Amino acid sequence: MKKIRVMICDDSAFMRMIIKEILDAQPNIEVIGQARDGMECVEKAVKLLPDVITMDVEMPKLNGLEALKLIMKKISTRVVMVSSLTQEGADITIEALENGALDFVPKPSGSVSTNFRSMGGVLIEKIQNVANIDPSRITRKISTKPHIVRRKFLSSGRIVMIASSTGGPKSLDSVIPLLPKDLPAPVLLVQHMPAGFTKSLANRLNRISEIKVVEASEGDILQKGIVYVAPGDFHMGLKANGSDVKIFLDKGAKINGVRPAADFTFDCGAEIFKTQTIGVVMTGMGRDGTKGSFKIKHYQGKVIAESEETCVVYGMPKSVVQEGYADHIVPSYSIAEKIVEII
């Protein structure tokens, strides 16, 4: 059995020790090196060529984001960020995901997390998952220059719902900023992400987009031209309230092993908007969005799947395509244009 060669990068000797203990207990993982700061991490990554790097977000000399950018220029490898639950940690983590990191694990209690062992199972699962991703997909450049899609809209009673997971934050940069601010439909975005990080995702997308992007709150009334990001650890649902449609947040059981789950949101949206529903399923592992796409098709709505060429992980869209639910299969940089075209 070929072992996954992992390098640990953290400025805390205590954290490096805990992570090493967690990984050493796995028969299919081998720790091949450790680094104490971002600069050392870059040097050792180039020398050791690990399969996966676990990278602390906040470090001296070079922080995790700066080290990641340098590593991605020099070699293509898989990086899992290890992030403290601070606002700064969340902001850097989101930017890291948009610059090539594949996933992240939050530290439950600050930069030196004495109870990080509780996250051991999550860390192992994420390392094993990203180890199967083709590194060439991480650093692939999009040759086209995307632009905001301008159209004259007639009135629209439509809704757009987007699902994304691994590779999503990077791919969403090719979708949300290309939507016009006068889009005559609300957009619901379900990105698989734990609590504490979705607000940073929404804030960053809002900064780089013309359309308004917010983290959804309980009781929000849907408005056209706003993107609502499902908060981490909550399913995002919809309920009709007279002439309004309101968002509700649900702490029910995980669906497809995740919360928020796109299937939950797609199901609610399709029930209310029927033929006027547009579902979009983007990069990610597993099948989340497939049952929801079935519900959208049941009501004769439209489903867009991201094509394999731009997916970091061709899992969720592949499932939708294989089941025959996709009306359109397009690369990430053409999704906004397709949404606008349908509306």
Q: Could you state, in chain order, the average pLDDT of each consecutive group of 10 residues for the chain (343 residues)?
A: 94 93 96 95 96 92 91 92 82 91 84 78 95 84 65 80 95 95 96 94 96 98 97 97 94 96 98 97 97 98 97 96 98 95 94
pLDDT for res 107? 84
pLDDT for res 150? 76
Catalytic residue among 192, 200, 209, 293: 192
Reduced DSSP (H G I as helix, E B as strand, rest coil) percent helix, strand, coil of the chain, to 5 = 35, 25, 40
**φ, ψ for residue 333 (rounded to 5)?**
-70, -5
**φ, ψ for residue 242 (rounded to 5)?**
70, -125
Catalytic residue among 171, 288, 293, 332: 288
CA-closest candidate to residue 201, choices 317, 307, 333, 83: 83
* Single-letter amino acid code for the residue at 54: T
Rg of the chain over Cα atoms, rounded to whole angstroms, equals 20
pLDDT for res 326? 98
The domain defined by 4-137 folds into Rossmann fold (3.40.50)
Known catalytic residue: 83?
no
pLDDT for res 337? 95
Catalytic residue among 83, 84, 111, 165: 165
In CATH, the architecture of 159-342 is 3-Layer(aba) Sandwich (3.40)
Q: For the residues of 170-188, what is the DSSP string, one character each?
A: HHHTTTGGGS-TT-SS-EE
Q: Are 284 and 168 in contact (CB under 8 A)?
A: yes
Give the integer Cα–Cα distance in Å for 105 and 82: 5
pLDDT for res 84? 78
pTM of the model: 0.93
Answer whether the bond into residue 184 is a cis peptide, omega within 30°. no
Residues of the chain with CATH 3.40.50.180: 159-342
Known catalytic residue: 192?
yes
Residues of the chain with CATH 3.40.50.2300: 4-137
Task: Please give the helix or strand (H or E) that residue 103 lies within, else none.
Answer: strand 103-107
Strand 244-250 versus strand 235-241 pairing type: antiparallel
Q: Are 333 and 309 in contact (CB under 8 A)?
A: no
